[in-house]
Amino acid sequence: MIEGPDWRVPVPVQALGYRDYRLYWTTSVVSNVGSIMYLAAIGWLVEDITDDPWKVTVAAVAGLIPLFVMSPFGGSLADRYSRTRLFLATVVGQMVVAVALAWVVQIDAETFWVLVAFSLGGGATASVGAPVQQAIVVELVPGEVMRNAVFLNSTQWNISRAVGPMLGGWLIQFWGPAAAFWFNAASFTVLVIGLSLLPPRPPPGASSSQGFLADFLSGFRYARSIEGIRVVMLASFMLAAAISPTQWLAPVIADDAFGVDAAGFGFLLGAFGVGSLIGAALMLQFDRGNPYSQLATIGMAVVALFTLALAVVPTFALGVVAMGGVGLAFMVTMPTLTSALQSQCEDAYRGRVMSLWMMLFGLAAPFSILVQGGIASVIGIRWVLVITAIAVTAYLASQLTRGRLRHLDAAG
């Protein structure tokens, strides 16, 4: 039983009135700033070492592939054990990997393949915790505040996307990449402290006597049986395929399309986060139970529009604006899909359903990054962005024509 709020806060951020959610949210912001700095730093470092868009994509994919392989384990565990303690264990694992990577870069022992190996290791530990982190949000607030908590959870990621790349770009420019990696390692300690202060919660149901495979299959059958969940999964797959390369190939966009240095790259990637924050502010202020289908339609249309703009604008300043627009559209669309998914999912299956959702990212993001990175090496990053915008537009048109998006509005 979740007690009432202990702080009086405005309605747009009402979930922060609950002590446990507030503690989780604030410490996650700090940790995620470090994580986004790490992503920016490793991408820039690979681009600097190799000057090869394809190798930038390989490093990115190494960190994302574990989502497809490892997140099902996390989802199964999240439906068996205390989610707060399970998430704490995965964060400690990420901190260990982060410290080791920072030390390797500090002593100038990094090579392309060493960075790929660390990307893979960090991705593996993060992937086990990813579905747990998604499932834990709804345990910290009552049901009527769930939608606001999901949007705020996305907002803290986008605060990190705004601050992390800019701070990371500045640290890389003046102190070298090692400084960004050490900041990331240190940021995990804040989240570890925050999670340690949360009271352990019991598992969502009785401990399953099934094996992992049976657990996974039962979650898959449950997700497949609900039309709204299937629509969310497909839309999320499309959005991940469209947006992930824009972020992971930002070093290539900065270098090849606009010819800017590390600070400029950090500013360009940070613009995505700033746009996301603007989108978050708009959603938190004006969302009053708007239909998920309506918000998803608007969001995907704006994704296509600003991706096309990023492809064709001639100057870096306009590129920053376009990247911000992509971030704004992402913030409208992805939390909408996440909230629709959470609203249609029974708690006993929540961890496994969220792990399936993460698996789609683990499939869509690496595949699209590899494909787009390979194409960019041949025809240039601008043409890749044009093709992406066309693909998103075609997908949205097909879903609207078939009336599929209305299933997002069904309540569980």
Secondary structure of the chain as H, E, C letters:
CCCCCCCCCCHHHHHHHCHHHHHHHHHHHHHHHHHHHHHHHHHHHHHHHHCCHHHHHHHHHHHHHHHHHHHHHHHHHHCCCCHHHHHHHHHHHHHHHHHHHHHHHHCCCCCHHHHHHHHHHHHHHHHHHHHHHHHHHHHCCCHHHHHHHHHHHHHHHHHHHHHHHHHHHHHHHHHCHHHHHHHHHHHHHHHHHHHHCCCCCCCCCCCCCCCHHHHHHHHHHHHHCCHHHHHHHHHHHHHHHHHHHHHHCHHHHHHHHCCCCHHHHHHHHHHHHHHHHHHHHHHHHHCCCCCHHHHHHHHHHHHHHHHHHHHHCCCHHHHHHHHHHHHHHHHHHHHHHHHHHHHCCCHHHHHHHHHHHHHHHHHHHHHHHHHHHHHHHHHCHHHHHHHHHHHHHHHHHHHHHHCHHHHHHCCC
Confidence of residue 394 (pLDDT cuts 50, 70, 90): very high
Residue 411 has pLDDT above 70, yes or no: no
Query: Given this model, what pLDDT does residue 3 score?
Result: 62
What does the pLDDT read at residue 177?
Answer: 81
Percent of the chain with pLDDT over 90: 14
> What was the pLDDT predicted at 397?
94
pLDDT at 207 over 60: no
Q: Which residue segments constitute the domains of the chain, with CATH numbers given?
A: 11-409 (1.20.1250.20)
Check residues 51 and 228 and name the one with the higher pLDDT: 228
Residue 369 has pLDDT above 90, yes or no: no
Q: What pLDDT sits at residue 72?
A: 78
Mean pLDDT across the chain: 82
Question: What is the tens place of the pLDDT at every residue in 183-205?
Answer: 889 999 999 998 888 887 777 65
